[in-house]
Amino acid sequence: TWVLWNDRLVKDGDIQLSKEDRGYQFGDGIYEVIRVYNGSMFTATEHIDRFYESADKIKIVIPYTKDVFHKMVYDLIEANEVTSGQVYIQITRGATPRQHQFPTNTVEAVLTAYTKELQRPVSEMTNGVSVKTVEDIRWLRCDIKSLNLLGSVLAKQEAYEDGCFEALLHRGDSITEGSSTNMYGIKDGVLYTHPATNLILNGITRRVILACCEEIGLPVVEEPMSLASVFLNEEFFMSSTTSEIIPVIMINGRKLGKGLPGDWTQKLQTAFEAKINQAIYA
Ligand code: PMP
């Protein structure tokens, strides 16, 4: 398979990365994951915009226009003949002798991207999953899609060791999001989710879902939900680029409602799928 290494497509084995790459040493970089359905990228513009925004927030300059970059990612997907899959993209502040402060601007950022075949998580989407609540110990710029993922890794591992699919993060009494997903509750015909502040990543899937809510007539309230009130929700679900919409049926080993995917959640899944199909056949 081919990988993107700066502005070149090279064979996977030919990529050369430095031991002093700042991504490797400091997590000094940002990344993005774009879903590919039927050979074409879903919400590519939104993901590429967010990639540039994340880079900008940590003062990494991507040395290509968005259009050129879009084409580079497109060519990678085509070269690898991806049908159902994803593309992972990251950029770091480059390689220099290890020191915390930024290198001089003669040091070039290092861009890498690769693709992977991936099926939709049909079983989880249909049956729902369990989550475990874990204290959110991440930093205060969760709006940046940073390579520093230790807080997420530790939370996910804790959930995983308890047999759960995802961690439901909370800062004190306030629910934020999942380790790599956004979280939503539905109560009395209203959808609640954390506002897009510095405490969460504003998911691209989240944005599509909020548009779907409008379409199906489900009112949205963007405000933090208290951990104490989590079981008052009739429905609960999570979202991400690779998870799409996955119902949460159990929290900390306790069933939510009847312990089945809810009606609104299923309506949202249908509306979301229609958007995927629109994009594929557009
Ligand atoms: N929150 C976090 C912390 C994430 O890492 C992700 C996935 N990258 C999401 C939310 C979901 O974002 P998206 O829908 O853009 O994949």
For 155-200, what is each residue's pLDDT tens digit? 999 999 999 999 999 999 999 999 999 999 999 999 999 999 999 9
> Is 145 assigned a catalytic role?
yes
Establish whether residue 130 lines the binding site of ligand 1, counting it when its CB lies within 6 angstroms of any ligand atom.
Answer: no
Residue nearest to atom 12 of ligand 1 (CA): 203
C-alpha 90 to ligand 1 mean position (Å):
15
Nearest to 36 by CA among 50, 49, 47, 26: 47
The SS3 call for residue 64 is coil
Looking at ligand 1, which atom is closest to the CA of residue 242? Answer: 16
| Per-chain mean pLDDT for the chain | 97
Same domain? For 147 and 238 the reply is yes
C-alpha 176 to ligand 1 mean position (Å):
12
pLDDT digits (tens, 9 = 90+) for 88-131: 999 999 999 999 999 988 899 999 999 999 999 999 999 999 99
Establish whether residue 241 lines the binding site of ligand 1, counting it when its CB lies within 6 angstroms of any ligand atom.
Answer: yes
Averaged pLDDT for residues 146-154: 98
Q: For residue 199, what are the domain limits? A: 122-281
The total number of structural domains that make up the chain: 2
Establish whether residue 205 lines the binding site of ligand 1, counting it when its CB lies within 6 angstroms of any ligand atom.
Answer: yes
**Domain-terminating residue out of 117, 143, 164:** 117
Q: What is the pLDDT of residue 9?
A: 98
CA 2 to CA 113: how far, in whole Å?
9
The best mutation among 89, 240, 241 to test binding of ligand 1, ranked by most ligand atoms within 8 Å of the C-beta, falls on 240
C-alpha 241 to ligand 1 mean position (Å):
7
**Domain-terminating residue out of 117, 144, 177:** 117
Same domain? For 262 and 139 the reply is yes
Same domain? For 40 and 75 the reply is yes
Establish whether residue 43 lines the binding site of ligand 1, counting it when its CB lies within 6 angstroms of any ligand atom.
Answer: no
pLDDT above 90: residue 213: yes
Q: What is the pLDDT of residue 88?
A: 98
Could you give the ipTM of this predicted complex? 0.99
Instruction: For 62-78, give one letter per residue: b (16+ CB within 10 A) or e.
Output: beeeeeebbebbeebbe
Q: What is the pLDDT of residue 13?
A: 95
Q: What is the pLDDT of residue 21?
A: 98
Same domain? For 67 and 176 the reply is no
Residue nearest to atom 8 of ligand 1 (CA): 180
C-alpha 104 to ligand 1 mean position (Å):
32
Q: What is the pLDDT of residue 235?
A: 98
Same domain? For 17 and 34 the reply is yes
Same domain? For 135 and 85 the reply is no
Same domain? For 186 and 256 the reply is yes
C-alpha 97 to ligand 1 mean position (Å):
32
Averaged pLDDT for residues 27-43: 97
**Domain-terminating residue out of 117, 134, 169:** 117
Same domain? For 110 and 227 the reply is no
**DSSP conformation letters of 186-255:** EETTEEEE--SSTTS---HHHHHHHHHHHHHT--EEESPEEGGGGGG-SEEEEEETTTEEEEEEEETTEE
Give the active site residue among 145, 255, 267, 275: 145
Establish whether residue 243 lines the binding site of ligand 1, counting it when its CB lies within 6 angstroms of any ligand atom.
Answer: no
Same domain? For 262 and 134 the reply is yes
Residue nearest to atom 13 of ligand 1 (CA): 203
C-alpha 146 to ligand 1 mean position (Å):
11
Q: Are 10 and 16 in contact (CB under 8 A)?
A: no
Q: What is the CATH number of the domain that holds 68?
A: 3.30.470.10
Same domain? For 144 and 68 the reply is no
23: Cβ contacts below 8 Å, ≥ 6 apart: 29, 90, 92, 93, 110, 147
Same domain? For 111 and 131 the reply is no
Looking at ligand 1, which atom is closest to the CA of residue 179? Answer: 3
The best mutation among 180, 198, 268 to test binding of ligand 1, ranked by most ligand atoms within 8 Å of the C-beta, falls on 180
pLDDT above 80: residue 221: yes
pLDDT above 90: residue 257: no
Q: What is the CATH number of the domain that holds 223?
A: 3.20.10.10
Same domain? For 126 and 81 the reply is no
Q: Are 69 and 62 in contact (CB under 8 A)?
A: yes
Task: Pinpoint the alpha helices (H) of the chain.
Answer: 22-26, 44-57, 66-79, 122-127, 150-161, 204-216, 263-281
Which token pair is 222?
């963007």
pTM of the predicted model, to two decimals?
A: 0.98
What confidence category does residue 282 fall into, taking pLDDT thresholds of 50, 70 and 90?
A: confident
pLDDT above 80: residue 49: yes
